[in-house]
Structure 1
Amino acid sequence: MRILIIEDEARIARRLVRMTKSYFERQLSLTVCDTLAKGLAHIEQSPVDLLLLDLNLNGENGFAVLEAMVARSFHTIIVSAYTDKAITAFAHGVLDFVPKPFDESRLFQAFGRLNIRNNVAGSPLRYLAVKKGGVIKMIEAEQIRYIKGAGIYSELHLQNGRQELHDKSLDALEQLLPAGDFIRIHRSYIVKLQQAQKLIIEAGGKYAIQLKNGEQLPVGRSRYKQVRQLMI
């Protein structure tokens, strides 16, 4: 696990380091940066699996770079006293928001979300940020028809027929998307339930979902029962 901490208060940074090492034990590569500039430089030069980001760094607005962070392949956990920004942060696709002051159990709870496949129902996620030509573009979750895995990336298929490539994997996006609104139907597909029209049983014991636009997507055998229950 390669973790980057961007935190300008040395005392809090030390607490984060100690607790993070305690949780992940030896399976850890940990870097601490005390400014956004240093943190962004590290991200450009080295792979990251998880970012712990403060929203107020020596007067700099961490929120200004949040959209760019959530567009990346790694997850972001906000650690901040600005609790009024929590809903906005979740809407933009952070994994969790840990309010300051925090204790070990709350931080561990945030780390535990890395191992949870599905997000909770009613998640406030509203956007998925994609990086295109050096520009960050915010895609409304409501506009997504389905998502297709594309190796370590994901293809967002939108209701207007356009496609956008997201740096996060299908597994990572599944952890952010609100359960009940989106469902994993196959190892390579996540579907917005409102776009699903009917289940199809094909010859040879194969299954598919037909979308409202007529497209058909495969349904994995191990996922058929769950999909059927949600579509009843």
Structure 2
Amino acid sequence: MKILIIEDEARIAKRIERMTRNFFDKEVQILLCDSLENGLHAIEQHPIDLLLLDLNLNGEDGFEILQSVVVKSFQTIIISAYTDKAISAFNYGVLDFVPKPFDESRLRQAFTRFTTPEKQSNGNIQFLAVKKGKSIKLITIKDIKYIKGAGIYTELHLSDGRMELHDKSLESLEKLLPPQFERIHKSYILCWNEADKLVVEAGGRYNMLLKNGELLPVGRSKYKEIRHKLI
């Protein structure tokens, strides 16, 4: 696992590094950057799994990094004293916001969210960002009908019939999305507002009929849980 820490105060950066190694194993790869420029360069040069980001980098706004990497496949945890920016950060789909000053137990809580496969959504995310050429396009959460896994990407299927590719995996998105999004199959996350009824086919196959007439597969392990929710 490779983790990038972007923090301009060397003492705090070393403290975060120590706590990070305490939680994960001693062999985890940790990169330290002390500026916006170095952080962006590291992100371009190294495939990372987790970003730990301060929002005040020697007077530079860490939000510039957040806005530029929001479409990347890794998860982001903010560690910052700027708690007034927490809601905006969650809107960008960060996994957690750890306010300074912090202790090891609070940072471990954030790391647990990262390592836990089950959904632990904060419910505040307002949009997902997709990269279109050299620009970033924001997709409003309420416009998403369902999300389909597509290899290393995911497909965002929208209410107007369009489809956009996103860099984050289904597992990553499942942790971020609000409660109305339900994993119904290993390859599908559905906005529950779009569900109409379950359809049982010959051979014990299950599908979800959407309000627009589309059919999505339902996993066998999910069938009973979903059936109860529809009663």
| TM tier relative to shorter chain | over 0.9
Q: d(CA) in 2 for partners of 1:139 and 1:14?
A: 37
Distance change in 2, residues 1:27/1:216 (3 Å): farther
Q: d(CA) in 1 for partners of 2:226 and 2:23?
A: 35
| Equivalent position of 2:127 in the other structure | 127
Unpaired runs of 5+ residues, structure 1, are: none
Deviations 1:70-122 (A, max 9, x none): 21000000000011111111121000000000000000000000122343466
- C-alpha RMSD of the superposition: 1.2
If the length of structure 1 is used for normalisation, what is the TM-score?
Answer: 0.96
Give structure 1 regions of 4+ aligned residues with deviation exceeding 6 angstroms. Answer: none
Moved more, 79-88 or 118-127: 118-127
SS in 1 for 2:176: coil
| Equivalent position of 2:5 in the other structure | 5
Amino acid at match of 1:220: G
Identity %: 61
Q: d(CA) in 1 for partners of 2:67 and 2:208?
A: 32
Q: Does residue 190 of the first structure (1) align with residue 189 of the second (2)?
A: yes
Please show how residues 94-173 of structure 1 align to structure 2 within 5 Å. Answer: 94-120=94-120, 123-173=123-173
Please show how residues 37-48 of structure 1 align to structure 2 within 5 Å. Answer: 37-48=37-48
If the length of structure 2 is used for normalisation, what is the TM-score?
Answer: 0.97
Unpaired runs of 5+ residues, structure 2, are: none
Aligned residues of 1:118 and 1:176 also touching (Cα < 8 A): no
| Equivalent position of 1:50 in the other structure | 50
Aligned residues of 1:148 and 1:154 also touching (Cα < 8 A): yes
| Equivalent position of 1:211 in the other structure | 210
Q: Does residue 28 of the first structure (1) align with residue 28 of the second (2)?
A: yes
Q: d(CA) in 1 for partners of 2:44 and 2:172?
A: 20
Distance change in 2, residues 1:139/1:47 (3 Å): same
Q: Number of aligned residue pairs: give it.
A: 231
| Equivalent position of 2:63 in the other structure | 63
Aligned residues of 2:53 and 2:76 also touching (Cα < 8 A): yes
Q: d(CA) in 2 for partners of 1:68 and 1:150?
A: 23
